Amino acid sequence: MARQAYRAQLLRFDPQGKALYDSDGLLVTERGADGVAHVLDAGSHAAVVARHPGLATTDWSGRLIAPGFIDMHVHYPQLDVIGSPADGLLPWLEHYTFPAEKRFADPAHATEVAGFFLDELLRNGVTTALTFATTHPASVDAFFTQAQARRLRMISGKVLQDRHSPDGLRDETEQSLIDSEALIERWHGKGRLGYAITPRFAPTSTDAQLQGAGELAARYSNTWIHSHVAENHDEVRWVAELFPQARSYLDVYQRFGLLRRRAVYAHCIYLDGTDRQLMHETGAAAAVSPTSNLFLGSGFFDFAQAREQNMLHGLASDVGGGTSLSPFHTMLAAYYTGREGQTKQGLSLAPTELWWRHTGGAAQALGLDGVVGTLQPGSEADFIVLNPQATPLLARRTQRAQSLEELLFALIVLGDDRVVERVVTA
Residue ranges in contact with Zn ion by CB under 5 A: 266, 318
Among 373, 419, 368, smallest CA distance to 393 is for 419
CB closer to ligand GUN out of 89 and 122: 89
DSSP state of 158: P
Residue 43 and residue 276: Cα distance in Å, rounded? Answer: 37
Residue 197 interacts, among ligand GUN, Zn ion, none and using kind-specific CB cut-offs from 5 to 8 Å, with none
Nearest position to ligand GUN, beta carbon: 321
* Closest to Zn ion by CB, 71 or 380: 71
Cα(310)–Cα(359) distance, rounded to whole angstroms? 18
Name the CA dihedral angle for 32, 122, 334, 235, rounded to a multiple of 10 degrees: -100
Residue 266 CB, nearest approach to Zn ion (Å): 5
Nearer to Zn ion, 45 or 73 (CB): 73
- The minimum distance between CB 407 and Zn ion, in angstroms, equals 31
Could you tell which of Zn ion, ligand GUN, none binds residue 97, using a CB distance below 5 to 8 A set by kind?
ligand GUN
Return the one option of Zn ion, ligand GUN, none that residue 231 interacts with (CB less than 5 to 8 A, by type). ligand GUN
What minimum distance in Å lies between the beta carbon of 162 and ligand GUN? 14
| Helix 404-414 with 392-399: angle, nearest 10 deg | 160
CB of 322 to Zn ion, least distance (A): 8
> Which residues of the shown chain bind ligand GUN in the complex (CB under 6 A)?
75, 89, 93, 97, 200-201, 228, 231, 292, 318, 321
Rounded to a whole number of angstroms, the minimum distance from the CB of residue 366 to ligand GUN is: 19
Q: Which lies closer to Zn ion via its Cβ, residue 60 or residue 295?
A: 295
Contact 156, 188 (CB under 8 A): no
Residue 281, Cβ neighbours under 10 Å: how many?
Answer: 11
CB of 204 to ligand GUN, least distance (A): 7
* Beta carbon nearer to Zn ion, 301 or 409: 301
Output the CA angle 133-137-138, nearest 5 degrees.
90
Integer-rounded Cα radius of gyration of the chain: 21
**Whole-number Cα distances in Å, 311 to 112, 230, 285:** 37, 15, 7
Partner interacting with residue 340 (select from ligand GUN, Zn ion, none; CB below 5-8 Å by kind): none
